[in-house]
Amino acid sequence: MATLNDPGFWQRFWSRLSGRARLEDGERALPFDSHTTPSGSTVGPDSSLKLSAVWACVRLRSQTISSLPLHLRAEDKSLAKQHPLYRLLHSSPNADMTASEFWESQLASLDLWGNSFVLIEWAGRRVVSLTPLNPEKVAVVRSSSGELTYEYTKGGKVTIYRENEILHLKGFTLDGIMGLSPIQFAAETMGGLMDANRAAAREFQNGLKVGGFLKTGATTLQKDQRDRLRDSLSQFGRPENAGKWMVLEAGMEPASAQGIRMNPADAQLLESRYFGIEEICRAFGVPPQLIGHTDKASSWASSLENTNLGFLTYSLRPTLVRIEQAITKKLLLPEERDQYRPKFAVEGLLRADSAARSSFYSQMLQNGVMSRNDVRALEDLPPVEGGDALTVQLNLTTIDKIGAPEETP
């Protein structure tokens, strides 16, 4: 049970009041905890995940990015497997996680809290481990001189980390220092969807029957008679009694014969729930059809390939670029930043059907853009001897040589 002496209590309390979108010099930004809507719904990272649309959007983005191989490449585009950072990024960032599990957790934190924090463990000038920190317990402090520090609260103890000890990934940001939580700024929409879900559940629980009035004429019921009547009405209102008849005694009759049953569409429950799903998709930048919302599936994308391309371009790519640049800045030494570059391999998302891939590879091979081993690598096939040479068609020539006699070799 939380008390006023709990170090996390005041952190959660002030986080509800601040809603800080920018971090100025001499200020302190607390993690987002929850937001209470005017209707009384409390919306936070945990409660929002109970909405299927939020769950689907966060899962889709985090699992898609975590499935992309992350390579460290040298200046000549080759894999820098000899660099100690390559194994951490591509295979296992720490002793407890695989690379896929690590990036999935960080992307989920990014989408729910707007920020993710990773403790960088150094051995001299070499990174040896990347350990995720709970974003709920990290406060970012900016001194009057502009220096950033991170306060991590765990077990009642506060640990202060310097800027070079934390890999801070940010979501959409206004100041480049703190990311904004989609949950916090879309809390009203999510709270409305929670209210609509609860209202629909109540209607189904009552067998889609609304409350009403009974006429007793000039007769005044005694207290025990009212109690027995309420018990009877309660029994009649149970879902298992839907469609049954109730006997009205002593001259009682319904105040109105209209509206004894209500269609949930009359209260626009279904429409509001559909609209809430689309609003959540907008907040996360996810096409609704990718999370199974096909009520209004018509969009500019005419195929799954185009949908994936749009999802990669407008939703995933900004996040991928931000992660790549953060890794370059925080995990590579200053003298290495011009020699190595982290890069997500997105070719798997762009892979079309076999006929389209065959046409694309033919064009790349005939114009000397790719070698046969390059194509085999994209298809997860081993290289072959002599497959590294670039080839072009012999009938290609420049415009000024058209009609000129061929030169004798």
pLDDT digit string, tens, across residues 9-18 = 544 444 444 4
Q: Which range is least confidently modeled, 93-97, 217-221, 243-247, 374-378?
A: 243-247
Q: Helices (DSSP H) in 84-206: which residue ranges?
A: 84-90, 99-113, 182-185, 187-205
Q: Are 270 and 186 in contact (CB under 8 A)?
A: no
Residue 258, pLDDT score: 46
Query: Residue 11 has what pLDDT?
Result: 47
Give residue 18's pLDDT. 47
Summary mean pLDDT of the chain: 80
Q: Contact, 54 vs 280, CB < 8 A? A: yes
| 234-262 tens-digit pLDDT | 666 555 555 566 666 666 666 554 444 55
Q: What is the number of residues in the chain?
A: 409
Q: What 3-state DSSP class applies to 234?
A: helix
Residue 286: what are its φ and ψ, rounded to 5°?
-115, 130
Q: From CA 28, how far away is CA 144, in angstroms rounded?
A: 11
Full DSSP string of 342-406: EEE--HHHH---HHHHHHHHHHHHHBTSS-HHHHHHHTT----TTTT---B-TT---GGGTTPPP
Mean pLDDT over residues 118-122, rounded? Answer: 96
Highest mean pLDDT of the ranges 57-71, 218-232, 378-392: 57-71
Q: What is the separation of C-alpha 138 from the centre of its chain, rounded to a whole number of angstroms?
A: 20
CA dist., res. 208 & res. 225, Å (int): 26
DSSP letter, residue 338: T
- Comparing 187-196, 252-261, 355-364, the range with the smallest average pLDDT is 252-261
| 213-226 confidence digits (pLDDT tens) | 666 666 676 777 77
Beta bridge partners of 120: 130
The structure tokens 């959007």 sit at: 57
Q: Please check the confidence at residue 159 and state whether its pLDDT lies above 80.
A: yes
The single-letter DSSP state of residue 137 is G
Mark 115-132 as b/e (b = at least 16 C-beta within 10 Å).
bbbbbbeeeeeebebbbb
Q: Averaged over 141-148, what is the pLDDT?
A: 91
Please check the confidence at residue 99 and state whether its pLDDT lies above 80. Answer: yes
191 vs 327: CA distance, rounded Å: 36
Kindly report the backbone phi and psi dihedral angles of residue 294, in degrees, each rounded to the nearest multiple of 5, phi listed first: -110, 20
CA–CA separation, 152 vs 131, rounded Å? 13
Q: What is the pLDDT of residues 321-347, one digit of tens each?
A: 999 999 999 999 999 999 999 999 887
Where do the domains of the chain lie? 7-181, 209-261, 294-401
pLDDT at 368 (0 to 100): 84
Q: Is 310 exposed, middle or buried (0-12, 13-18, 19+ CB in 10 A)?
A: middle
> pTM (2 decimals)?
0.74
